[in-house]
Chain A
Amino acid sequence: MSVCIEFQDVSYAYPLTKKAAVRHLNCKLEKGKCYGVIGPNASGKTTFCNLMRGLCPKFYGGILKGNVLVEGKNLEEWEDGELSVRIGYVFQDPFAQVSGIKETVFEEIGMGLENTGVEQEEMIRRILEIAKVVKVDTLLQKNPLALSGGQCQRVAFASVLALDSDIIVIDEPTSQLDPDGTMDVFEIIGALKRQGKTVIIAEHKVDLLAEYCDEIIAMAEGTIIAQGTVREVFQLQILREKKVRIPQVVTLALLLEEKKKALSSIPVSEREAVAMLKERGDI
Chain B
Amino acid sequence: MKTKNQTVMKLAQTALLAALCFVSFTFLQIKIPMPGGDATSLHIGNAFCVLGALLLGGWYGGLAGAIGMTIADLMDPIYITGAPKTFFLKLCIGLIVGLVAHHIAKINDSTDKKYVFKWSLIASIAGLSFNVIADPIVGYFYKQYILGQPQKMAEVLAKWSAATTFVNAVVSVILVVFIYNAVRPILLRSGLLVSQPKN
Contact = CB atoms under 8 A, between A and B. Distances in A.
Nearest to B189: A16
A12 to B, nearest CB: 13
A15 B2 contact: no
14 contacts: A14-B189, A14-B191, A15-B189, A15-B196, A15-B199, A16-B188, A54-B1, A58-B1, A58-B2, A59-B5, A61-B199, A80-B1, A80-B4, A80-B5
Contacts of A16: 188-189, 199
Interface in A147-194: none
B59 to A, nearest CB: 22
Contacts of A274: none
Interface of A: 14-17, 54, 58-63, 80, 83
Contacts, number: 29
A171 to B, nearest CB: 16
Contacts of B4: 80
Interface string B1-45: 110110000000000000000000000000000000000000000
Interface in B157-199: 188-189, 191, 196, 199
B67 to A, nearest CB: 16
Contacts of A80: 1, 4-5
Contacts of A15: 189, 191, 196, 199
Contacts of B5: 58-59, 80
Max chain A Cβ within 10 angstroms of own Cβ: one of B1, B4, B188, B189: B1
Contacts of B1: 54, 58-59, 80, 83
Contacts of B188: 16
A21 to B, nearest CB: 12
Nearest to A80: B1
A174 to B, nearest CB: 25
A253 B189 CA distance: 44
A74 to B, nearest CB: 14
B19 to A, nearest CB: 11
Contacts of B196: 15, 61
A76 to B, nearest CB: 10
Contacts of B189: 14-17
B120 to A, nearest CB: 19
A63 B199 contact: yes
A61 B194 CA distance: 10
Nearest to A78: B1
A54 B1 CA distance: 9
Contacts of A54: 1
